[in-house]
Chains A and B, each alone.
Chain A
Amino acid sequence: GAGVSQTPSNKVTEKGKYVELRCDPISGHTALYWYRQSLGQGPEFLIYFQGTGAADDSGLPNDRFFAVRPEGSVSTLKIQRTERGDSAVYLCASSLLPGGEQFFGPGTRLTVL
């Protein structure tokens, strides 16, 4: 079966623009996580979905960041008014159940010029 996929693999945008990053989890996985990895750092938790609802969004850095998972499968991370500091690799992971083994996608490398 297919693993977690993320699109696009690379995204270059200009400061102030809006971007959307997509995550397709493993089919049947109920839990979905977003992380952000800056250069030289480990992944940093952003938000966790259980089904369609955001169960924990404590890692979102500010209100420019928003994520949805309307049908309990695909998720979109949305960033408004991008800033250069948003440049990072955005990783998505899914697990069959909350607390289960997380399978990561390859990430989307976002560059804000």
Chain B
Amino acid sequence: EAQVTQNPRYLITVTGKKLTVTCSQNMNHEYMSWYRQDPGLGLRQIYYSMNVEVTDKGDVPEGYKVSRKEKRNFPLILESPSPNQTSLYFCASRRIGYGYTFGSGTRLTVV
């Protein structure tokens, strides 16, 4: 089944403890992206990648890192999470010129 898989679905962590949210797609899509969704603010792009080893900042990149060492994987790294990064995170992938397919989301709480 064609899909974007992200893990974990739920995560509670403490301020400052590094964490990684994994994302994998099996559709050979060139583009991958991370979004965060917050009430009243909608979906905001954090980082995106156009292909292996090619990444760029989205609208809200501060406090996040990404890497794209393989085409299928695009992990999101929070080196020192803070409470304002508590949010619902979505990974997404797409072919050039087409719309994004989203994962099921990761609900992150930073205490």
**A, B from the same assembly:** no
